Chain A
Amino acid sequence: MAGISRSRFITGGIILILAIVLPAILDLGFMMTALVQVVLYMYWASAWNIMGGYAGLFSLGNGLYIGIGAYVMGILYVSFGVSPWIGMIIGGLAAGVLSVIIGYPTFRIKGLYYSLATFALLQAIKLIFTTRKTIFGLPMGGSDGFKMIRIDAPAQMQFANNLWYYYLALALLVIVLLVSWGISKSKIGYYFRAINVNGDAASSLGVNVIKLKMQAQFLSAFFTAIGGGVFTMLLRFIDPNSVFGVDMSVNIMIMVVVGGSGTLWGPVIGAGLLRLANQYFVTMFGAKLVGIPTVFFGVTLMVVVFFIPGGLMGLRQKLKDKFGKKAPLRKEAVPHEQHNSRF
């Protein structure tokens, strides 16, 4: 592939083959569900990175799109018999359109206020889905949510073995990474990174900032919502707490910041490490120390913001600059001042 060095291409290929083969030959048992969720978080973090990392739209409410994707797909399946494969795409498009509608007024709000607006919107929508048993005459179940009809048919995105959900999540992750890579190397990627730092200066260079932000938000919302659909079919259940969770949205953001926002692999690494840590704490402490993963996430975020503002990928680049071969300064070598200032 043009633009990727041979060694990176081979490394990526080996990682992908291992990611495909290892879960199939290892007997992971109940851990498979946890592994699917790890990959889904990697995927959501990478989708958030398109708008938050590249374009600087620091949304705290991406759970909104997970929920929209899940509910649209779920209601199309349960009430109208539409296959979740199709419902998933429709859910993605619905979330994308919603993101554009939301974007029009909120893009005029800058920095922290944009983040707060997305957070408030998530809360408002969650409240609607929690308190309303029906929306537009469709049965949403209110706070109880509703179950997916179980039939174990791949055509209905239902598999007896969760390994197939893992492969589905992995395929989505590969797709979103390829899209992110394409963006980062293209005109739109440079524009995203320019508006991330200074929208006014970018605008003076002919960049239509509002349109670009809408494109970033649409893409991010679309991918995020598709993941919401897969998540729902994995759980075979949907309720406002599981898909409109505030924790979910904030954790996705933290994962990207920890891994390195605006980089290709940062969100994957951040989500992988934090989600595995979360799983470890839950397994180790269970109900004895319920809040420990949240504390861990918060402390990790503070440490990263204060000591390694570029995240783990930024740290890697700094170490490379310091101890590696003399290389020209790259974008990763520059701290993301914009991001730091938001905390």
Chain B
Amino acid sequence: MNSTIHDSEQEVVLMGEGVTKTFGGLLAVNKVDIALRKSEILGLIGPNGAGKTTLFNMISGTMPMTQGALYYHGKRIAKPQAYKMCSLGIGRTYQICQPFGNLTVLENVMVGSYLRHSKTSHARDAAYQVLKRVGLAEQAKFAGSALTLPQLKRMEVARALATQPDVLLLDEVIAGLNPTEVEKIMTLIREIRAEGMSIIIIEHVMRAMMNLSDRIIVINQGAKIAEGLPEEIVQNEQVIASYLGGMQHA
């Protein structure tokens, strides 16, 4: 567990400095600093509404930052936009699955694989390989909207993987799955990391987070309140008071 190293010497792949988002008068994310190292699994936890997904949206370019800066492999990204971030190598999934219901499962994944394969036959082959990997090959010809929730979550991961990212942002891909499914998807995430991919994961299933994450960042009310190894985080009084304690009582 928390296996592979990840000391501070590892190359920082993705870094956010003072990332801030306001919606009118609401401060959703407040000057959060975040650094993801190579082949690291960085957990992002916090209560509902803490700003985790908003932070994801800014890192992935889906939503503009109000303030702050993003660096990818040390280079500042001037104007993060979703399609540019993906082209750079930052893939993401959505908390609420977003299938293209007018396409089959295979075609859904092809939309991702086209990024690196212009020819349809190559994109199709690459997409099918990813589907095999996430265990959805048998559903390849189903309509995207005809999948069950666990299958939809796998398809979300498959689509992001099909873009061949360097950094993968996983937004609650474990929540709602049964224990067998959880085990399968955790194995998949570990395999992906073992290949050199860096991962940030948002999740409320603490057992999975503790098992998967090399480091954890805790966000509450838009601000980072703690950062450290999982065993440090579970001991952190502020984290217990604002999040983990609440979970235990829930």
Residue B196 lies at the interface, judged by CB distance under 8 Å to chain A: no
Partner of B101, one of A197, A202, A205, A209: A197
Interface residues of B in 137-177 (CB under 8 A from A): 141-146, 159-160, 162-163
Q: Which 5 A-B pairs have the closest CB atoms?
A: A328-B141, A206-B115, A201-B98, A203-B82, A206-B86
Q: Write the chain A residue with the least CB distance to B169.
A: A204
Interface residues of A in 183-202 (CB under 8 A from B): 185-187, 190-191, 193-194, 196-198, 200-202
Is B86 a contact partner of A204 (Cβ separation < 8 A)? yes
Contact digits for B89-116, partner A, Cβ 8 Å, 1 yes 0 no = 0011010001111111001101110110
Is A206 a contact partner of B87 (Cβ separation < 8 A)? yes
Is A331 a contact partner of B82 (Cβ separation < 8 A)? no
Q: A186-B120, A204-B82, A206-B163 are in contact. Are A331 and B104 (CB under 8 A)?
A: yes
Whole-angstrom CA separation of A198 from B145 in the bound complex: 13
Residue B235 lies at the interface, judged by CB distance under 8 Å to chain A: no
Whole-angstrom CA separation of A330 from B60 in the bound complex: 31
Contact digits for A234-245, partner B, Cβ 8 Å, 1 yes 0 no = 000000000000
Q: A194-B111, A329-B142 are in contact. Are A334 and B62 (CB under 8 A)?
A: no
Q: How many residues of A contact B (CB 8 A)?
A: 29
Is A190 a contact partner of B111 (Cβ separation < 8 A)? yes
Among A186, A191, A201, A328, the most chain B Cβ lie within 10 Å of the Cβ of A201
Is B114 a contact partner of A187 (Cβ separation < 8 A)? yes
Whole-angstrom CA separation of A194 from B109 in the bound complex: 11
Q: Write the chain B residue with the least CB distance to A200.
A: B62
Query: How many inter-chain contacts with C-beta < 8 Å in the A-B complex?
Result: 97
Residue A208 lies at the interface, judged by CB distance under 8 Å to chain B: yes
Is A328 a contact partner of B100 (Cβ separation < 8 A)? no
Q: What are 11 residue pairs bridging A and B, where the CB atoms are less than 8 Å apart in the complex?
A: A190-B107, A190-B111, A191-B111, A191-B114, A202-B111, A203-B86, A204-B60, A206-B115, A208-B83, A329-B146, A334-B146
CB distance from A183 to the nearest CB of B (A): 12
B162 proximity list for chain A (CB < 8 A): 205
Residue A337 lies at the interface, judged by CB distance under 8 Å to chain B: yes
Whole-angstrom CA separation of A262 from B100 in the bound complex: 14
Residue A78 lies at the interface, judged by CB distance under 8 Å to chain B: no
Partner of A331, one of B61, B98, B103: B103
Residue B178 lies at the interface, judged by CB distance under 8 Å to chain A: no
A337 proximity list for chain B (CB < 8 A): 101
Residue B118 lies at the interface, judged by CB distance under 8 Å to chain A: yes
Q: A196-B102, A334-B102 are in contact. Are A205 and B112 (CB under 8 A)?
A: yes
Is B111 a contact partner of A334 (Cβ separation < 8 A)? no
Residue A213 lies at the interface, judged by CB distance under 8 Å to chain B: no
Q: Write the chain B residue with the least CB distance to A203.
A: B82
CB distance from A224 to the nearest CB of B (A): 23
Residue A250 lies at the interface, judged by CB distance under 8 Å to chain B: no
Residue A207 lies at the interface, judged by CB distance under 8 Å to chain B: yes
B62 proximity list for chain A (CB < 8 A): 200, 203-204
Residue B123 lies at the interface, judged by CB distance under 8 Å to chain A: yes
Residue A333 lies at the interface, judged by CB distance under 8 Å to chain B: yes
Q: Write the chain B residue with the least CB distance to A187.
A: B114
Is B102 a contact partner of A262 (Cβ separation < 8 A)? yes
Residue A126 lies at the interface, judged by CB distance under 8 Å to chain B: no
B160 proximity list for chain A (CB < 8 A): 204-205
Q: A202-B111, A203-B62, A203-B82 are in contact. Are A194 and B100 (CB under 8 A)?
A: yes
Q: Write the chain B residue with the least CB distance to A56.
A: B102
Q: Write the chain B residue with the least CB distance to A310.
A: B102
Q: Write the chain B residue with the least CB distance to A54.
A: B102
Is B112 a contact partner of A206 (Cβ separation < 8 A)? yes
Among A194, A196, A202, A330, the most chain B Cβ lie within 10 Å of the Cβ of A194
Q: Write the chain A residue with the least CB distance to B92.
A: A204
A207 proximity list for chain B (CB < 8 A): 83, 111
